């Protein structure tokens, strides 16, 4: 092994989740925006690993980049976890034994570690001004060199340092990264360590001049102090991992198991899923009528698989089955069609009471927000809505579709173009005749049961020498105002005798005026 090589302990990394010692994983977002499916997917893997091994899943907010902090981002991430049913074991709001869980509240804890690194020679004070750093960067760019700190302050003499300090000059603390050799990052998802030439590493800033730590320092210190055993995070952090390995080594700490999980890509092309394109904040899925069960199951399969066949897996099954071995390194692709498929599946699994409870808020929203027409009285009658949903459950892909799909069950008057009453290969008078005969039959029924209506009207179809669709599509438009609806006779049964007959009479008079105008 070349001199200066640093490596994480391989056996621990490769086997620790198999040996099922409780894993303490964490999600450590920077609150610089709203998390989308990519971030939650990574968090879900961490959560599943913690649950699978009987460990814990803390939430830590990496908010030291104060200028970029977005108000509401922390609340949103917590709300997202609640919605998805991913309980957090420690974190903001609930606290825990390793708090506080906001890095800004841990601020005083980091500088002593920076001092310790300076004393051991693993870090140094950098007094360079922003202007100087800009100049260095510009000249490197002009010479087509990678922009990196030129290590100007790395070898300042004790006297120079003392002079700068007594002159009150501000400074940052930088990592004195090894100049030669390699740093290896052992990653649980990759069979061979990822090697970095130390010569390419930057002397990254660890502590800013305002005393706040950078991501690298705070992340390493907190993962250690919070006793994190497994760091699952996005692939984009691989390039930071050697710095972290060096820091663990310099502080004399054992690094956690690293697992850099594959990216989630845009539906098309090789780009990472991004807010600027297809990604939406997690809670937006709730607004759009997705079920948390569907998101949970769908996200679990973005980069992890149970086997090639099984895709429907409950929370319990996922917890039981999740191991890092089955997390791949190939990127996953976001596919909204597949997510919708999962959503439809989970909607069909709901009991009617559960479906009703989850759908009512969508039905009762104001019309402008996608709810039923404002003319429909709120609150909606529960028993009736339950029977309506029983008919629509099969076809529903999202809860948010319910108002549009079911509005004809709730409104007083239907609006539809008169022409749509006339089926293919029919004319106004044949349609009128069919509907009048249907009305007479339906009026004569003692009860109002789908099966009986169907038998009687099928007899009528035969008698009139029509195909079923020629009569039934007219009847469908008459009672629902649309060409597509749940099964016709169940729909009429649910609408009830009074409403169905009056809509049929209305359709007949509409056709009569159409015919007389012809």
Compute the least distance from the CB of residue 215 to ligand GLU, in Å.
Answer: 6
Compute the least distance from the CB of residue 291 to ligand GLU, in Å.
Answer: 27
Stretch that binds ligand GLU, among 50-58, 154-162, 181-189, 231-239 (CB under 6 A): 231-239
Helices 488-495/468-480 angle, 10° precision: 30
Residues 480-509 contacting ligand GLU, CB under 6 A: none
Pick between residue 244 and residue 286 the one whose CB is nearest to ligand GLU.
244
Examine residue 237 and tell whether it contacts ligand GLU (CB under 6 A): yes
Examine residue 213 and tell whether it contacts ligand GLU (CB under 6 A): no
Residues 146-175 contacting ligand GLU, CB under 6 A: none
Measured at the alpha carbon of residue 513, what is the angle toward residues 512 and 514, in degrees to the nearest 5?
90
Examine residue 103 and tell whether it contacts ligand GLU (CB under 6 A): no
How far apart, in whole angstroms, are the C-alpha atoms of residue 27 and residue 30?
A: 10
**Per rule CB under 6 A, count of chain residues that contact ligand GLU:** 9
Examine residue 219 and tell whether it contacts ligand GLU (CB under 6 A): yes
| CA distances for 76 relative to 79, 217, 284, 334, 436, angstroms | 5, 26, 11, 21, 57
Phi, psi of 182, rounded to the nearest 5 degrees: -130, 155
Stretch that binds ligand GLU, among 230-238, 391-399, 483-491, 492-500 (CB under 6 A): 230-238
- Helix ranges, 54-110 (H): 73-84
Contacts 24+ apart (CB under 8 A), 235-240: 235/260, 235/261, 235/262, 235/263, 236/263, 238/185, 238/187, 238/194, 240/215, 240/216
Pick between residue 272 and residue 505 the one whose CB is nearest to ligand GLU.
272
Q: What is the CA radius of gyration of the chain?
A: 33
Stretch that binds ligand GLU, among 121-129, 166-174, 229-237, 248-256 (CB under 6 A): 229-237
Compute the least distance from the CB of residue 112 to ligand GLU, in Å.
Answer: 22
Compute the least distance from the CB of residue 28 to ligand GLU, in Å.
Answer: 4
Q: Which residue minimizes CB distance to ligand GLU?
A: 233
Q: Please pick, from the candidates 233, 260, 397, 503, the single residue that binds ligand GLU as defined by CB under 6 A.
A: 233
Q: Please pick, from the candidates 6, 53, 62, 324, the single residue that binds ligand GLU as defined by CB under 6 A.
A: 62
Please answer whether residues 477 and 414 qualify as being in contact, where contact means their C-beta atoms are separated by less than 8 angstroms.
Answer: no
Pick between residue 242 and residue 371 the one whose CB is nearest to ligand GLU.
242
Examine residue 56 and tell whether it contacts ligand GLU (CB under 6 A): no
Pick between residue 73 and residue 391 the one whose CB is nearest to ligand GLU.
73
> Is 351 exposed, middle or buried, given 0-12, 13-18 or 19+ CB atoms closer than 10 A?
exposed
What one-character DSSP code corresponds to residue 314?
-
How far apart, in whole angstroms, are the C-alpha atoms of residue 340 and residue 346?
A: 10
Query: Residues with catalytic annotation?
Result: 275
Compute the least distance from the CB of residue 197 to ligand GLU, in Å.
Answer: 22
- Helix ranges, 4-101 (H): 10-15, 37-53, 73-84
Please answer whether residues 194 and 241 qualify as being in contact, where contact means their C-beta atoms are separated by less than 8 angstroms.
Answer: yes
Residues 398-417 contacting ligand GLU, CB under 6 A: none
Pick between residue 110 and residue 346 the one whose CB is nearest to ligand GLU.
110
Strands 182-185 and 194-197: antiparallel
Q: Which of helix, strand or coil describes residue 423? A: coil
Compute the least distance from the CB of residue 232 to ligand GLU, in Å.
Answer: 8
Compute the least distance from the CB of residue 127 to ligand GLU, in Å.
Answer: 28
Measured at the alpha carbon of residue 500, what is the angle toward residues 496 and 505, in degrees to the nearest 5?
150
Pick between residue 35 and residue 491 the one whose CB is nearest to ligand GLU.
35
How far apart, in whole angstroms, are the C-alpha atoms of residue 376 and residue 372?
A: 7
Pick between residue 17 and residue 62 the one whose CB is nearest to ligand GLU.
62
Pick between residue 150 and residue 235 the one whose CB is nearest to ligand GLU.
235
Torsion, CA 138, CA 140, CA 145, CA 151, rounded to 10: -130
Residue 507, both tokens: 């359709």
How far apart, in whole angstroms, are the C-alpha atoms of residue 403 and residue 495?
A: 16
Measured at the alpha carbon of residue 310, what is the angle toward residues 308 and 314, in degrees to the nearest 5?
140
Q: Binding pattern to ligand GLU, positions 12-51, x when CB under 6 A? A: ----------------xxx---------------------
Compute the least distance from the CB of residue 31 to ligand GLU, in Å.
Answer: 9
Please answer whether residues 202 and 187 qualify as being in contact, where contact means their C-beta atoms are separated by less than 8 angstroms.
Answer: no
Compute the least distance from the CB of residue 17 to ligand GLU, in Å.
Answer: 17
Pick between residue 236 and residue 427 the one whose CB is nearest to ligand GLU.
236
> Is 323 exposed, middle or buried, given 0-12, 13-18 or 19+ CB atoms closer than 10 A?
middle
> Is 280 exposed, middle or buried, given 0-12, 13-18 or 19+ CB atoms closer than 10 A?
middle
List residues binding ligand GLU (CB under 6 A).
28-30, 62, 215, 219, 231, 233, 237
């Amino acid at each position: 092994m070349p001199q200066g090589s640093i490596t994480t302990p391989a056996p621990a990394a490769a086997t620790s989740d198999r040996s099922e010692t409780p894993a303490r994983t964490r999600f450590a977002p920077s609150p610089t925006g709203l998390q989308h499916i990519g971030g939650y997917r990574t968090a879900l893997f961490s959560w599943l690993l913690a649950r699978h091994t009987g460990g814990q899943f803390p939430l830590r907010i990496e908010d030291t980049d104060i200028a970029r902090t977005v108000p509401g981002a922390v609340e949103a991430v917590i709300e997202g976890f609640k919605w998805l049913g991913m309980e957090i074991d420690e974190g903001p709001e609930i606290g825990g034994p390793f708090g506080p869980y906001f890095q800004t509240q841990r601020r005083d804890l980091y500088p002593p570690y920076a001092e310790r690194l300076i004393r051991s020679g693993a870090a140094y004070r950098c007094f360079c001004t922003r202007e100087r750093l800009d100049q260095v960067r510009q000249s490197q760019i002009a010479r087509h060199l990678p922009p990196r700190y030129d290590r100007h302050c790395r070898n300042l003499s004790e006297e120079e340092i003392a002079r700068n300090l007594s002159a009150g000059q501000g400074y940052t603390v930088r990592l004195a990264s090894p100049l030669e050799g390699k740093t290896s990052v052992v990653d649980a998802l990759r069979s061979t360590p990822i090697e970095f030439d130390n010569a390419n590493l930057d002397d990254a800033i660890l502590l800013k001049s305002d005393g706040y730590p950078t991501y690298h320092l705070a992340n390493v210190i907190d993962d250690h102090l919070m006793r994190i055993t497994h760091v699952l995070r996005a692939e984009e952090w691989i390039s930071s991992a050697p710095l972290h390995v060096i820091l663990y080594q310099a502080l004399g700490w054992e690094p956690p198991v690293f697992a850099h999980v594959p990216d989630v890509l845009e539906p098309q092309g090789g780009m990472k899923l991004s807010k600027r394109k297809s990604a939406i904040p997690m809670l937006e899925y709730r607004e759009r009528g997705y079920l948390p069960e569907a998101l949970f199951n769908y996200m679990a399969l973005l980069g992890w698989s149970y086997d090639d066949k099984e895709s429907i897996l409950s929370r319990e099954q996922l917890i039981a089955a999740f191991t890092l071995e089955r997390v791949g390194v190939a990127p996953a692709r976001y596919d909204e069609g597949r997510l919708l498929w999962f959503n439809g599946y989970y909607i069909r699994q709901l009991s009617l009471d559960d479906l009703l409870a989850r759908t009512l808020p969508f039905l009762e929203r104001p019309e402008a927000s996608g709810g039923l027409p404002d003319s429909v009285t709120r609150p909606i009658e529960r028993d009736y809505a339950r029977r309506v949903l029983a008919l629509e459950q099969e076809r529903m892909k999202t809860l948010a579709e319910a108002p549009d799909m079911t509005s004809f069950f709730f409104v007083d008057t239907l609006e539809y173009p008169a022409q749509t009453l006339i089926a293919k290969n029919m004319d106004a008078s044949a349609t009128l005749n069919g509907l009048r005969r249907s009305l007479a039959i339906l009026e004569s029924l003692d009860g109002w049961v789908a099966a009986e209506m169907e038998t009687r009207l099928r007899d009528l179809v035969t008698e009139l020498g029509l195909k079923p669709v020629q009569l039934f599509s007219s009847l469908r438009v008459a009672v629902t105002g649309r060409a597509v609806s749940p099964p016709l006779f169940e729909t009429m049964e649910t609408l009830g005798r009074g409403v169905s007959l009056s809509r049929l009479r209305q359709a007949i008079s509409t056709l009569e005026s159409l015919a007389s105008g012809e």
